[in-house]
Amino acid sequence: MGIKKKIKVIKESDNFWAGLLRDLLFTLMVFTIFSSVSYIALGRFSPMVAVESKSMAPHLKIGDIIFIENVDRTEIVTYEEGKKTGYSSFEYYGNVILYKRKGSEELPPVIHRAMYYVDKGDPMWPGGPAAPSAGYITKGDNNETNALYDQQGSISYLQPVRKEWVIGVARLRPVPLLGCLPLTVKGNLACFNT
């Protein structure tokens, strides 16, 4: 039997296994197309991340899915620059960035706003200590849970976010609640504690 006949048999068969094979091939095709389009548009095969905490409320909520554009494809606009030019994203000045906490691949990444950029030796905030390296000073938008810069607290204590730690910039509108499923599977029940 030729390959065309085998494909026709599988395509038209009512057999459970043939149907399962068709479904798997269709899913693989959709995944491949989505990944390819994502890579072309945003520079990442997997451009979506789920918001895991209230730190970015009210602009981003727990369980929101956000799309991340690869940092190599864009310029980061800080809150400071955005305020001067009028540029905003997610209803506030500057860009929301996804970065590796302390540069680690082992720790979950952080989704916070880039407030301003400091050079090595600059004070990290007014009256603050000198920056040990150049990088971004970051902060969550929620002033109740994140009253201080990340560099003043435990998130990135006394460490500006170096450019090489930045994974990407948040783009597009968030998709509400879609991230609750992957968060719950990972054991994060934050979606149910709000």
Instruction: Please give the pLDDT value at position 92.
Output: 96
At residue 118 the predicted structure's pLDDT band, cuts being 50, 70 and 90, is very high
Q: Where are the beta strands (DSSP E) in the chain?
A: 48-50, 65-70, 88-89, 92-93, 96-99, 110-118, 135-139, 166-175
For the chain, what are the domain ranges?
3-42, 48-192
Instruction: Please give the pLDDT value at position 39.
Output: 63
**Per-residue pLDDT tens for 56-80?**
999 999 999 999 998 998 999 999 9
Q: pTM (2 decimals)? A: 0.79
Among 3.40.50.300, 2.30.42.10, 3.30.470.10, 2.10.109.10, name the CATH number for the domain at 48-192. 2.10.109.10
Are 76 and 93 a contacting pair, CB within 8 Å?
no
β-strands 65-70, 88-89 pairing: unpaired
